[in-house]
Amino acid sequence: MDEGGEEEEPGPADADAPAGAQEDGGSPGAERDTSGNASGSGKPEAGSSDRQAQTQPPEPVDPVCVARLAELGAIFEAVEPIEGEGGCGIAHPFEISGFSGGISLQPAAKLDCPTAVALAEWVEDELKPAADTAIRTLTDEEKPEGKALKTIRQASSYICRTRNSQKDAKLSEHGKGRAIDIAGFTLADGTDVTVTPREKDHTIAAALQAAVRKGACLHFTTVLGPGADSFHSDHIHIDLAERRGGYRICQ
């Protein structure tokens, strides 16, 4: 499944996706860039149908959204607007570098405000509780609530490219600052959980990966990871693609 589909009727399959491409994370081993620069053949063309008019002034940033981001304890700062070809760009980008409780996001991610809020809510509601449970199981001792998760590693946030970096595909949600690829986590005891196929893995790391991936479906409209398709074997892609009828893709 690809991340889009807002122009189509929701259903069990997303007609926007290229054959064999379930969503948007880029092919395994493809270059990923969080700087805002496009790379590879998946760069949207300046004349593509997805290009949005750049002549109209952007809407002002939503102060309620920014207040919510601060309330959640996210570590963030507003940065200069990002402009790109073919509809890429973020009118009001925020650089997110961490979350409450000393949790760092490495490297920092550039996202729009609603996506940053969804990410922070996911961290608070899903990642922290799951990590607390995991580390208590691993160490067989109580740990302070909300202190088990130390680092979240991301592989891609804003980047101007098409879905899955495929030629002639629609613009990726990454190109709008509305998507992020989660590559792994580090717990307080040093345990590293790298996102990878874990169908035959019966460990706490596998349980943690499964729990936070499923929990992401409560906060994002697209969640795809290992097993969804060949493009997502090493990360969990989450985004806020808009679709009619509130349709969500969770694979």
13: left (phi over 0), alpha (psi -120 to 50) or beta: beta
Q: 111 phi and psi, to 5 degrees?
A: -140, 160
| Domain count across the chain | 1
Residue 190: inside a domain, yes or no? yes
Q: How far apart (Å, rounded) are the C-alpha atoms in residues 230 and 59?
A: 37
pLDDT tens digit sequence for 103-152: 999 999 999 999 999 999 999 999 999 999 999 888 877 777 778 999 99
Q: 185: which strand partners?
A: 152, 193
Task: Write out the two tokens for 243.
Answer: 């679709």
Q: What is the domain range of residue 119?
A: 63-250
Q: How far apart (Å, rounded) are the C-alpha atoms in residues 189 and 228?
A: 30
- Listed residue (126, 78, 122, 123) closest to 104, CA to CA: 123
Residue 154: inside a domain, yes or no? yes
Start-to-end CA distance of the chain, whole Å, equals 8
Residue 74: inside a domain, yes or no? yes
Provide the pLDDT for residue 43: 67
Provide the pLDDT for residue 64: 97
pTM of the model: 0.80
- Listed residue (205, 202, 251, 238) closest to 117, CA to CA: 238
Residue 142: inside a domain, yes or no? yes
Provide the pLDDT for residue 247: 93
Residue 46: inside a domain, yes or no? no
Q: DSSP class of residue 207?
A: H
Provide the pLDDT for residue 166: 82
Residue 141: inside a domain, yes or no? yes
Provide the pLDDT for residue 18: 32
Residue 205: inside a domain, yes or no? yes
Cβ atoms within 10 Å of 78's Cβ, excluding its own? 12
Residue 99: inside a domain, yes or no? yes
Provide the pLDDT for residue 145: 78
Low-confidence ranges of the chain (pLDDT < 50): 1-2, 4-41, 47-54
Q: How far apart (Å, rounded) are the C-alpha atoms in residues 200 and 2?
A: 26
